[in-house]
Amino acid sequence: MSDHRVVAEQWLAAEPDLDVKRELQILLDGDESELAERFSSRLTFGTAGLRAAIGAGPSRMNRLVVRRAAAGLVDHLLATVPGAAERGLLIACDARFKSADFARDTARVAAARGMKAHLIDGMTPTPVLAWNIPRLAVAAAVMVTASHNPRGDNGYKVYLGHGAQIVPPDDTAIAARMDAIDATTVALADDDDALIDVIGDEATRAYLAWVPSVRLAPGATGARVGYTAMHGVGGSVLLRAFEMSALPEPAVVTLQQEPDPNFPTVEFPNPEEPGAMDLVIDLGRNEGLDVVIANDPDADRLGVAIPSGTSGAWRLLRGDEIGWLLADHILRRTHGDDRLVETTVVSSSLLGKMAAAHGVQYRETFTGFKWIADAAMKAHGLRLVFAYEQALGFLVSDRPLDKDGIAAAVLVAEIAGVAADEGTTIEGRLDSIAATFGRHVTAERSVKMDPSVGARLVQTLTDAPPSSIGGRPVVAVRNFPEANLVRLWLSEQDGRGVRLQIRPSGTEPKVKLYGEGVEVTASELDRLLEALVDVAVGLV
């Protein structure tokens, strides 16, 4: 009997869920290659934790994988964090399949190892968990969520006691602890163990009491807002946040307001995806709203769409455009030379120009909000007032140290209200920003490619860049080795500059390409990105 078959039999005996158990039995009875694929590798920590399709075996998300992850995390905390056992682990979950079981098992693993577990009862937005970490002074926290992934996925996001997602070396240390643990023999405490503290609505109420403090123009309430929770857990919390922030109740897409792990009306529950916000845009058009907004399923991201022109057309705002609006609003209404704003290397360069105009410190970080938080914590003497990444992640205060789609929604509604009071619109506000700093245009592409090939491509473009791309000379090149990214500047034509970037994805077998131009057309930028795609394909 093969080694992976022996291990699979052990997993079959230990698996607590009947559906996963049936799947594993089918694998044992069927194709040996599929069984080998499931048991030849393990999920590894990626963006602050685990994320994969739900299924049987160590390379999928299931309760045995979660128990091993919880055990490795708790062992790491007990060995490295003073007072970790008493401070405890804060745990919450979204509404996806098996999320509640994953959260409960995490609490039971922690209690069995002698660590307090604070389990937030019910379905919880990620920002609520992240915001409560420093409030409760816990040693760490776990959010069970797959964020905006497809319906069949789930995930396991880890934060440390400072409230930010894990970064090296903690991620590798936790992974090493996990690797030493047999997932089939992890001890579990009883559900009613004294070390498991179930928290009711208290965590959400504390977060909601804070949310109104992000408002900077509290008198502006004139905007008409539409909203969709996209079948996630943000719906009721966002409505409460608007009420507590003295904002009019938004019109909602009723079909998408309640949590549903099947996501019946969206194929891919990500506000960035084409078609994902169609229902809320229809609501905005039919009811003559000023702006419509969407949270992803765990409510840490925010999508925005606005009326465009006078023809009844609507358009989705890119993440950078939302970032510019929020930055403009915040920088004009906050004060002090200790202010700090941050964004990532793949986001627009405009935030840096806005920061310079307001005399504010600016940081550019690696891709991912964990790096934004890490840079903020290291910026001693500076006060974070805003951070964003182009993938619809926004932080409009100095907490939580993660993206927050609910607090950002409150501020977008306020921006729309201020614009209405001033006789303009959000589109008018974007035009005003463009008139001040130049019209910045951004675009993205992706190409299927093995990550190792993508990494070699980045190195090749760094060491031997092409002389031109799309007919424009390459005038400068910069490599960001820690981010595995190369940036190329093209020569200006008629004062119009272009910046192109490329990097392998950290989670998918593809490379991502990013373009930004100043005073260029979207079609011209698209053409240059396609030319970069051609260069990339020709080099591999």
> Which residues are annotated as catalytic?
147
Separation CA 296–CA 319 (nearest Å): 13
List 158's β-bridge partners, or say none. 142
Per-residue exposure over 494-521, b if at least 16 CB sit within 10 Å of its own CB, e if not: eebbbbbbbbbbeeeebbbbbbbbbebe
Burial of 236 (0-12, 13-18, 19+ CB in 10 A): middle
Q: What is the 3-state secondary structure (H, E, C) of 446-477?
A: EEECCHHHHHHHHHHHHHCCCCEECCEEEEEE
User: Cα 430 to the chain's mean position, in Å?
Assistant: 24
- Structure token pair of residue 75: 């062992």
SS3 298: coil
Peptide bond into 125 cis (omega under 30): no
Residues near 256 by beta carbon (within 8 Å), at least 6 away in sequence: 228, 229, 230, 231, 265, 266, 279, 280
Q: Which residue is it, tokens 């996630």?
A: 232
Torsion of CA 247, 251, 254, 260, to 10 degrees: -40
Helix (H) or strand (E) holding 170: helix 170-179
